[in-house]
Amino acid sequence: MNDLLVKGAAHLWTGLRGAAMRSSIGADIRIRSGLITAIGTLAPEPGERVLDAAGCVVYPGWINTHHHLFQSLLKGIPAGINLALVPWLAAVPVPYRRFFDREEALRLAARVGLVELMLSGCTTVADHQYHYYPGMPFDASAAVFHEAERLGLRLVLCRGGQTVARAMSDGHAPPQAAPETLEGFMASIEADVRRFHDPSSFSMRRVVSAITTPNWSCRPEELKPMAREARRLGIRLHSHLSETHDYVRWAREVHDCTPMEFVERHEWVGPDVWFAHMVHLDDAELKRCAETGTGIAHCPQSNARLGSGIARIPEALALGVPVSLAVDGAASNEAADMASEAHACWLVHRARPGPFGGNAAAMTVEDVVHVGTAGGARVLGLDGTGTLEVGKAADLAVYDLDQPRHFGLHDPAIAPVASGGRPTLRALLVHGRIVVENDAIPGLDMAQLRRDAEAFVKLML
């Protein structure tokens, strides 16, 4: 691996909180064997490649902790564009699953989603891949890992699926949404762990046990065996929770408790568990998240798009809940990139009424960067990533502020979050390797990717 010096950036954000957020000792970064070995004002050393970052702003790579990559070819489907979660599920992801019964289709969707994320400065992706069913004709886990590896990204495969068929409004689901047995589901996760899981701090591949929802995708008595098996295997747990009022109503009506109480009864809380959304949490549930270290994948754009609500993230942060940022699937978030997500995160909490409402300091740019980088590393347990510090992996985005929207800024460091839009990348590095240079992915034929995506959309139509 090349010895590298990222030289001349105007600003460096570390991902840490408080005064340590902005580097005060200089913004040059020395990289050896994929790791940061020095930060400061540094002179080039013999044999070292210098990456010119003059005028740029350097952030840690974004860590996206909840996605459904297969949905990357299901953006803006008219039948679902104005629907709430449950009717939207019945109109978009469920019926369209039948188009993803070929490996090439899943691979193409994953490629589109990963490329979109990379160009927004994202270096780690947790894909909640739930497209599995009995007799599936290809290896979906290997396909997604392979696409991420080709592009050079870290991938956390959250192996979802269902052991109970979830009846949609028309009372039936396609064969691609048929349930697995609990034994089959768990055996497949164990096999994925054996094949792909690397528990190290700098891991490029992780596997997580991630039934699609604890409410509707399995029987309650199956949750405890799943949790225990995951802990025996040394992997994390992930799922959706409290995205809409339906979760709250279901827990109250069926189990006479809150959704957090329900998952806690079944041992699905702890620092090795994170849930997507968590929009509708009461005070006691927020407190329990903090006490147990249970994490949140905050998806402000998807929550707004589906009309689900605004998660209580400022309160969660104040209590010390592990909070991360995520795009959710592109079928409920037409631009599934981390730059848009960070911008939305910065804005929505300021607009929300309530104890922090009307408060322009409810969510600062510093909060957003911390949540989207260090926060993601924490919930995924990727200790070697998420901040720009000596000894950490060189996962970083070098943003070139070369668009009119950035001209005239008094504090250019905030531009990638506060200005909105997608800032162009001078470079994106994952473990010291340049995976984006001058806003392009070396070796990727973007025109071909567009043609392939258009052809697949035409086929579905």
Tell me whether residue 93 or residue 416 sits nearer to Zn ion (CB atom): 93
Tell me whether residue 63 or residue 397 sits nearer to Zn ion (CB atom): 63
Tell me whether residue 210 or residue 374 sits nearer to Zn ion (CB atom): 210
We find the least distance from the C-beta atom of residue 85 to Zn ion, in angstroms, to be 10
Q: Report the alpha-carbon distance of residue 416 to residue 401 in Å, rounded.
A: 8
Q: Residue 458: enclosing H or E segment and its boundaries?
A: helix 446-460
We find the least distance from the C-beta atom of residue 67 to Zn ion, in angstroms, to be 8
Residue 226 corresponds to which amino acid? M
We find the least distance from the C-beta atom of residue 270 to Zn ion, in angstroms, to be 21
The pair of structure tokens assigned to 284 is 């006691």
Q: Is 410 exposed, middle or buried (0-12, 13-18, 19+ CB in 10 A)?
A: exposed
Tell me whether residue 176 or residue 201 sits nearer to Zn ion (CB atom): 176
Chain centroid to Cα 390, Å, comes to 24
Tell me whether residue 207 or residue 327 sits nearer to Zn ion (CB atom): 327
Tell me whether residue 308 or residue 364 sits nearer to Zn ion (CB atom): 308
Tell me the β-bridge partners of 64.
125, 325
We find the least distance from the C-beta atom of residue 196 to Zn ion, in angstroms, to be 21
Please answer whether residues 324 and 330 qualify as being in contact, where contact means their C-beta atoms are separated by less than 8 angstroms. Answer: no
Q: Is 270 exposed, middle or buried (0-12, 13-18, 19+ CB in 10 A)?
A: middle
We find the least distance from the C-beta atom of residue 56 to Zn ion, in angstroms, to be 33
We find the least distance from the C-beta atom of residue 336 to Zn ion, in angstroms, to be 11
We find the least distance from the C-beta atom of residue 328 to Zn ion, in angstroms, to be 5
45: left (phi over 0), alpha (psi -120 to 50) or beta: beta
We find the least distance from the C-beta atom of residue 340 to Zn ion, in angstroms, to be 16
Please answer whether residues 130 and 68 qualify as being in contact, where contact means their C-beta atoms are separated by less than 8 angstroms. Answer: yes
Q: Residue 15: enclosing H or E segment and its boundaries?
A: none
Three-state DSSP at 382 gives coil
We find the least distance from the C-beta atom of residue 376 to Zn ion, in angstroms, to be 15
Tell me whether residue 7 or residue 66 sits nearer to Zn ion (CB atom): 66
Chain centroid to Cα 84, Å, comes to 21
Tell me whether residue 84 or residue 319 sits nearer to Zn ion (CB atom): 84
Q: Report the alpha-carbon distance of residue 111 to residue 178 in Å, rounded.
A: 25
We find the least distance from the C-beta atom of residue 306 to Zn ion, in angstroms, to be 10
Q: Is 427 exposed, middle or buried (0-12, 13-18, 19+ CB in 10 A)?
A: buried
Instruction: Name the site residues for Zn ion (rule: CB under 5 A).
Output: 276, 328
DSSP-derived secondary structure for 311-335: --HHHHHHHT--EEE----TTSSSS
What is the torsional sign of CA 263, 202, 154, 141? negative
We find the least distance from the C-beta atom of residue 345 to Zn ion, in angstroms, to be 16
What is the torsional sign of CA 340, 71, 168, 159? negative
Three-state DSSP at 379 gives helix
Q: Report the alpha-carbon distance of residue 220 to residue 263 in Å, rounded.
A: 9
Tell me whether residue 68 or residue 352 sits nearer to Zn ion (CB atom): 68
- Cα angle 34, 328, 218 (rounded to 5 degrees) comes to 110
Tell me whether residue 93 or residue 423 sits nearer to Zn ion (CB atom): 93
- Of all residues in this chain, which one has the CB nearest to Zn ion in the complex? 328
Q: Report the alpha-carbon distance of residue 182 to residue 318 in Å, rounded.
A: 38
Tell me whether residue 328 or residue 395 sits nearer to Zn ion (CB atom): 328
Tell me whether residue 59 or residue 275 sits nearer to Zn ion (CB atom): 275
Instruction: Give CA torsion, residues 436, 439, 443, 445, to 10 deg.
Output: 140
Three-state DSSP at 75 gives coil
We find the least distance from the C-beta atom of residue 295 to Zn ion, in angstroms, to be 15
Residue 229 corresponds to which amino acid? E
